[in-house]
Structure 1
Amino acid sequence: MPVRAGTATVLTCALSAVLVLAGCTPAPSPPAAPAKGPAKAPAGAAAPPREVRGGADRAPSRIPGVGPRTQARVPAGTTQVLVVSGESADGNTATAVLYEREPAGRWHRTAGPWVGHNALRGWTENHVAGDLRSPTGVFRLGDAGGRLPDPGARVPYDQDEEFAVSGTGFLGEPLEGSFDYVVAIDYNRVPGTTPLNKERPLGPEKGGGVWIHVDHGGPTQACVSLPREDMTELLRALDPVREPVVVMGPAAVLAR
């Protein structure tokens, strides 16, 4: 995987009361023939099997845990979805599961569940800088990076020492190594650039630098964090051909 050079000072995306961060650092059919009455089956005969319709006549399969309103926001071409769900709107622990869609249209789990963290104060559908909540929604996943060498990512990966971080988190836990591996969440950022890019298309007041990164054992500023081994598995699994996205938020909201 080609490595992009970092272009900016690291967004210290996590997670510390000491660090001051903006984020963790969207032809008509012919008429039918007249119906004939059903033939009567002989007494005692089993009923004929019901027809199972396919293609456009079958309702699309649901991503587990994702309701119709939320799934409608997933792009039509996306066949890989990371679902990150929190127990409550104000909770800061989350569970992530990776799903892929089969050619027939059904979704199945390919990795997870992984247990990690989100922002200190939970989730919001109207994220602003400094609110200590993770944005709820559906966001593209297409760019990655970290302080350590590429572990085998298929999405573009930017190795850069600017991903180094120090200090302590909200629970006093060390933050060192949190940005060894990161995946940029396309919230208020320019897609196709290093996660270190500080451009904010929605303006700085809407926050930014929201990543998926290595868990440090406590809540974040706005990011999602996963255990180190799960981050490497995620980086190797994300396939740009599948147009991956993350669906993230409280479980009750995602189920709508």
Structure 2
Amino acid sequence: MKRPHAVLLVASLFLTGCGGGAEASSGHPSGSATAGPGTPDTSSLTSPWPVMTVQAAPLELPGLGPRTTAQIPSDARQVVVVSGRARNSPLATVALYERTATGWQAGAEWPAHNALKGWSDHHMGGDLRSPIGVFGLTDAGGLLADPGSRLPYHRSGDFVAPGTGFEGEPLAGAFDYVLAINYNRRPGTSPLDWTRPLGSDRGGGIWFHVDHGGPTHGCVSVSEQHMKELLHTLDPDRHPVVVMGDAGSLAR
């Protein structure tokens, strides 16, 4: 299944907007009819033509400030925005956007979980915070068969999440589908590749994965359906990236 680019990322999956409108012409075709002898004056009658408003795509991504926007690569045509509810909250919203010739078109928007303690500008392994920043999206995988991912998909029996989550919820199935977030990892490899360019103390293994009903250790989780939509929509030829952090940080 492939979703139309209405984003992102779906909004297309990807991307959001607002814009000005324009009214369609209404009334007499000439726009200035004058009643002649024996002709009833209808100039004050309501036009039968509906007023149409055309929404233009925004040139900037909603909610992102100049510092955050400057970090988005110029060749990125798909953007997934993960906006946390607050700095220390595990609740977030995921929105998909796609760049067109006229601006950013919004796609789907979904509820999500992030790390238990919220967000960090300097993520460290075990801090239970999700990293803030702009990261590439190049590799996917999971325990289950490829659902139709456009990104390279690595299936493995090692995508297993044992035990329970922070709220006692079972983690089984959380890694049925994953999408690696290129924080402290080597792009172009399986999400299971544990190479850590910044060092092991800076953590890693930050993914999008299937939501298990509670906060994560550092990943972003959405429903299984929405994970599939991400995999169906994100196109390596459009150089997708994720912009993630609490709303206040992203607005800078």
For Structure 1 versus Structure 2, the TM-score category normalised by the shorter chain is 0.7 to 0.9
SS across alignment from 1:142: coil
RCO higher in structure (CA 8 A, sep ≥6): 1
* 1:182-208 superposed Cα distances (whole Å, 9 cap, x missing partner): 000000000000000011010000000
Structure 1, unaligned stretches of length 5 or more? Answer: 1-59
**Corresponding residue of 2:48:** none
**Corresponding residue of 1:87:** 85
Structure 2, unaligned stretches of length 5 or more? Answer: 1-57
Q: Residue type matched to 1:168 in 2?
A: T
Distance (Å, rounded) in 1 between the aligned partners of 2:251 and 2:189: 32
1:121 to 117, 121, 130: 117
- Is 1:213 the counterpart of 2:213? The answer is no
**In terms of Rg, which structure is larger?**
2
Q: CA-atom RMSD, angstroms? A: 0.9
**Corresponding residue of 1:40:** none
TM-score (norm 2): 0.76
What's the offset of the Cα at 1:213? 0.2
**Corresponding residue of 1:21:** none
Runs of 4+ aligned structure 1 residues displaced above 4 Å come to none
* 1:93-141 superposed Cα distances (whole Å, 9 cap, x missing partner): 110000000023x10112x211010000000000000100000000000
Whether the 8 Å CA contact 1:62–1:68 is kept in 2: the answer is no
What's the offset of the Cα at 1:250? 0.5
Distance (Å, rounded) in 1 between the aligned partners of 2:244 and 2:143: 25
TM-score (norm 1): 0.75
Distance (Å, rounded) in 2 between the aligned partners of 1:237 and 1:113: 14
Q: How does 1:162-177 map to 2 (within 5 A)?
A: 162-177=158-173
Q: How does 1:52-131 map to 2 (within 5 A)?
A: 61-104=59-102, 106-110=103-107, 112-131=108-127
- Is 1:200 the counterpart of 2:196? The answer is yes
Distance (Å, rounded) in 2 between the aligned partners of 1:78 and 1:157: 20
SS across alignment from 2:249: helix
SS across alignment from 1:177: coil
* 1:70-94 superposed Cα distances (whole Å, 9 cap, x missing partner): 0110000001000000110000011
Distance (Å, rounded) in 1 between the aligned partners of 2:95 and 2:216: 19
Distance (Å, rounded) in 2 between the aligned partners of 1:253 and 1:162: 35
Q: Residue type matched to 2:174 in 1?
A: S
Distance (Å, rounded) in 2 between the aligned partners of 1:164 and 1:73: 33
Q: Residue type matched to 2:208 in 1?
A: I
SS across alignment from 1:162: coil
What's the offset of the Cα at 1:166? 1.9
What's the offset of the Cα at 1:68? 1.4
**Corresponding residue of 2:141:** 145
What's the offset of the Cα at 1:234? 0.6
